[in-house]
A and B are shown apart, each in its own frame.
Chain A
């Protein structure tokens, strides 16, 4: 089947909201090349489970496609049209399984050495879309916070080396009640800007007490889900003929109800949590990976105004000799390795925040938990500076705003 053959009834199996959205754009879909359309449908089919920011982006993109003249459509998608697809790809059920199509397309592009051409086509399209629909500046400047180093008594190596050139480095921050203060700041922002999914707290361990206006995800709370996902991964990978690609497809198809979720009354958040564990690599095993990946996905998808991420010690990776001699022991923790992971994770959180609209007004604070070291990045504090003055975290936050 090719895009030109699409009919409104082709989308009958889509979830209710997605079906409603699609109904108005079948004509536009018919004009799009197959190398492009399934990527768009992959977003549309999940419309019911998307955050408000994502829904808005999908709606705007569809409206823009509908508004293009025939000539403009040709110009916008010429490079995609030149991508050669295989008959096998054309035969796939790309309408109802667009994610699987995109996965197969990716393999096809690598194999046929068309990846660079596709990247160019995709980049050009993104540029045109960006020009046609300028990104919406958020209602308030964003604030990102990363808390790293839980459980470390002392550390002599330099921290925040990648962040320091972009902000002010504080070496004598008063650490008392630091986490509580930061969570209060998140709660205050949530009260001031009461927007759904705009204020998040991600904890790589057990979550601290937080305001109900904040969306919270923690590694500890997801432990039952992680156990189910890991068990399922193990049992599936042992089946004959099961390869990594098939396993990935199977994981991607897992639903919250299948995994025992769905009781929170928030299908969007349930689906998001499942995806963190079924699509993220290492999120099921290492809490630091979980925290970093959750932050990345939260920023990319929900585009929050506030995000506090606290990294907690992950389990220690046992060296081979220990694996050979010890059996079935409960996992030990690796606070020092986790500090290094968290340091890099904090940098990635900042990078990902800066990819969102309004980056020039955004602020970011990274703090070594229970210690005096922090980095504050914002438009008003000078870059690459260091301060040895004694200051509270609340002071630092106030200087940033």
Chain B
């Protein structure tokens, strides 16, 4: 079975569709029984942004990364790992059970696809910008917003180009500011020493590899100037945190307080430790991400610049391989491209979103950018996806 070994397939495409549907149905039924959500109808739209000036509207996106499966999250046996999502967030959200990613399942390229609304094909491991305009560029160009109004906080050096595409009609100077908290921390702590290089080696797929930085990432001297955070305070606080995603959320808090961008994109990555093959570490990553998502939601509700005018989106960039695919190794990777690794979910909360509704129709992850466009009143003209009618 030479080709079976080559690409390690598990099932034919026709049965993949069936699997996806079954998967979504299970998730929906569980959410309805466990979290008391009502089944939504496509006739129900969002609640528009009544009472909230469009100009003051804010959107925060969290990618629940890097990839978690249903059986460790929304399936009955997985719910113990996401108590915050289950108890706190889902009852306040509109939840979509069947979000399919038809693109390349590498974290950088998939996140770039989420941010452009186009299935990007750039090299996952190279320091390259997306080829299509990002949500940040549409937002800033159409609405004439300054660079301080769109930010990305990402864990890995590989994400330093995600804020701005190479598209000739957009690109240069129109993108988001990008903060790589681990990069900042390394700079803050090592001060020219090389002992902390291991902090930069944060790509779990290739743990010994750290891509070269290129682009206009946030530099250490801007900590104080923009985030009003001294290097000493940053360093001291970082030493109390247990993971890169915790550091990201710490930076997010500063950013929300000091800059209050209207479009904020947070990429979580701790879960991707699964690539090392230790199941307990993967579960720890999911539990931490669950807690951090709730923290960000609390910040949104408590920060005056955000409370009452912010929509939060939480979604994984993709899933992980199923246990049933002989070509994969279960939770460890996302290499088979099977139905389970492609099918995820989306949760929307806050302004303009109905609470406690679940939809199980199929949608694609590239629908996110046009949806944000419809919400904030810019046109994601080159995106492949479509606005999610239930939210706009």
* Contact surface of A with B, Cβ cutoff 8 Å: 36, 38-40, 42-43, 57, 61, 80, 102, 105-106, 109-113, 115-126, 129-130, 161, 233-234, 237, 242-245, 247-248, 280-283, 285-286, 288-289, 292-293, 296, 314, 317, 319-321, 323-325, 327, 334, 336-338, 340-341, 343-345, 347-348, 351-352, 355
Quick one: given A39-B6, A42-B2, A118-B7, are A237 and B276 in contact (CB under 8 Å)?
Answer: no
Chain B residues near A288 (CB, 8 Å)? 277-278
**A109 touching B3 by the CB < 8 A rule?**
no
**B5 touching A43 by the CB < 8 A rule?**
yes
* Contacting residues of chain B (243-278) with chain A, CB-CB under 8 angstroms: 243-244, 246-247, 273, 275-278
- Of the listed stretches B83-91, B163-171, B225-233, B234-242, name the one at the interface; the rest are far from the partner chain: B234-242
Quick one: given A281-B333, A348-B329, A351-B323, are A247 and B206 in contact (CB under 8 Å)?
Answer: yes
Interface residue tally for chain B (C-beta within 8 Å): 63
Shortest C-beta distance, B341 to chain A (Å), equals 11
* Contacting residues of chain B (320-357) with chain A, CB-CB under 8 angstroms: 323-324, 326, 329-333, 337
**A116 touching B3 by the CB < 8 A rule?**
no
Complex alpha-carbon distance, A281 and B205, angstroms: 8
**A123 touching B206 by the CB < 8 A rule?**
no
Contact of B96 with A by CB under 8 A: no
Chain A residues near B240 (CB, 8 Å)? 321
Quick one: given A113-B119, A341-B278, are A244 and B6 in contact (CB under 8 Å)?
Answer: no
Chain B residues near A325 (CB, 8 Å)? 239
Contact of B21 with A by CB under 8 A: no
Shortest C-beta distance, A156 to chain B (Å), equals 15
Chain B residues near A343 (CB, 8 Å)? 279
28 contacts between A and B (CB under 8 A): A42-B5, A61-B2, A102-B6, A111-B104, A112-B121, A113-B103, A113-B119, A119-B12, A121-B3, A123-B4, A123-B9, A123-B11, A125-B4, A161-B77, A237-B208, A237-B209, A242-B209, A245-B125, A247-B209, A280-B277, A281-B205, A282-B277, A320-B199, A320-B246, A324-B238, A327-B195, A341-B280, A345-B279
Chain B residues near A280 (CB, 8 Å)? 277
**Best-surrounded residue of B6, B185, B323 (most CB of chain A within 10 A):** B6
Contact of B203 with A by CB under 8 A: yes
Chain A residues near B50 (CB, 8 Å)? none
Complex alpha-carbon distance, A334 and B284, angstroms: 14
Chain B residues near A296 (CB, 8 Å)? 329
B275: which of A112, A125, A245, A281 is its contact (CB, 8 Å)?
Answer: A281
Chain A residues near B119 (CB, 8 Å)? 113
Chain A residues near B278 (CB, 8 Å)? 282, 286, 288-289, 314, 317, 337, 341
Contact of B281 with A by CB under 8 A: yes
Contact of B361 with A by CB under 8 A: no
Contact of B35 with A by CB under 8 A: no
Contact of B214 with A by CB under 8 A: no
Closest to A112 in B: B121
B243: which of A105, A120, A319 is its contact (CB, 8 Å)?
Answer: A319
Contact of B16 with A by CB under 8 A: yes
**B3 touching A126 by the CB < 8 A rule?**
yes
Complex alpha-carbon distance, A59 and B113, angstroms: 44
Q: State the majority secondary structure of interface residues on A.
A: helix
**B243 touching A116 by the CB < 8 A rule?**
no
Complex alpha-carbon distance, A352 and B242, angstroms: 35
B16: which of A116, A161, A247 is its contact (CB, 8 Å)?
Answer: A116
Please give me the 5 A-B residue pairs with the lowest Cβ-Cβ distance, nearest first. Answer: A289-B277, A39-B6, A40-B2, A282-B276, A244-B206
Closest to A38 in B: B6
A293-B329, A320-B246 are known; give 18 further A-B pairs, CB within 8 A: A39-B2, A40-B2, A43-B5, A110-B337, A118-B3, A118-B7, A119-B11, A123-B9, A125-B1, A125-B4, A237-B208, A243-B125, A281-B333, A283-B277, A286-B276, A289-B332, A327-B195, A355-B326
Shortest C-beta distance, A278 to chain B (Å), equals 13
Contact of B376 with A by CB under 8 A: no
As a 0/1 sequence over residues 97 to 110 of chain B, the CB contacts with chain A under 8 angstroms (1 = contact) are 00000111100000
Shortest C-beta distance, B111 to chain A (Å), equals 15
Complex alpha-carbon distance, A172 and B119, angstroms: 54
Complex alpha-carbon distance, A247 and B210, angstroms: 12
Chain B residues near A121 (CB, 8 Å)? 3
Chain A residues near B143 (CB, 8 Å)? none
Chain B residues near A323 (CB, 8 Å)? 198-199
Chain A residues near B189 (CB, 8 Å)? 324
* Contact surface of B with A, Cβ cutoff 8 Å: 1-7, 9-13, 16, 77, 102-105, 119, 121, 125-126, 185, 189, 195-196, 198-199, 203, 205-211, 238-244, 246-247, 273, 275-281, 283, 323-324, 326, 329-333, 337
Complex alpha-carbon distance, A319 and B245, angstroms: 11
Chain A residues near B239 (CB, 8 Å)? 321, 324-325
Shortest C-beta distance, B191 to chain A (Å), equals 13
Chain B residues near A122 (CB, 8 Å)? 3-4, 6-7, 9
Complex alpha-carbon distance, A382 and B2, angstroms: 37
Chain B residues near A234 (CB, 8 Å)? 208
**B280 touching A337 by the CB < 8 A rule?**
yes
Chain A residues near B7 (CB, 8 Å)? 39, 106, 109, 115, 118-119, 122
**B203 touching A124 by the CB < 8 A rule?**
no
Chain B residues near A347 (CB, 8 Å)? 323
**B281 touching A115 by the CB < 8 A rule?**
no
Complex alpha-carbon distance, A341 and B281, angstroms: 9
Closest to A242 in B: B209
Closest to B324 in A: A351
Shortest C-beta distance, A179 to chain B (Å), equals 23
Shortest C-beta distance, A197 to chain B (Å), equals 19
**B12 touching A124 by the CB < 8 A rule?**
yes
Complex alpha-carbon distance, A292 and B282, angstroms: 15
**A243 touching B337 by the CB < 8 A rule?**
no
**Best-surrounded residue of B210, B246, B275, B278 (most CB of chain A within 10 A):** B278
**A243 touching B209 by the CB < 8 A rule?**
yes
Quick one: given A119-B9, A244-B206, are A126 and B277 in contact (CB under 8 Å)?
Answer: no
**B241 touching A320 by the CB < 8 A rule?**
yes
**A111 touching B121 by the CB < 8 A rule?**
yes
Chain A residues near B13 (CB, 8 Å)? 116-117, 119-120
**Best-surrounded residue of A116, A161, A314 (most CB of chain B within 10 A):** A116
Complex alpha-carbon distance, A117 and B209, angstroms: 32
**A320 touching B1 by the CB < 8 A rule?**
no
B280: which of A115, A327, A340 is its contact (CB, 8 Å)?
Answer: A340
Closest to B244 in A: A320
Complex alpha-carbon distance, A9 and B103, angstroms: 41
Complex alpha-carbon distance, A264 and B103, angstroms: 46
Chain A residues near B283 (CB, 8 Å)? 340
Shortest C-beta distance, A128 to chain B (Å), equals 10
**B276 touching A289 by the CB < 8 A rule?**
yes
Complex alpha-carbon distance, A283 and B7, angstroms: 22
Closest to B342 in A: A116
Chain A residues near B330 (CB, 8 Å)? 344, 348, 351
**B277 touching A281 by the CB < 8 A rule?**
yes
Closest to A80 in B: B3
Shortest C-beta distance, A190 to chain B (Å), equals 27
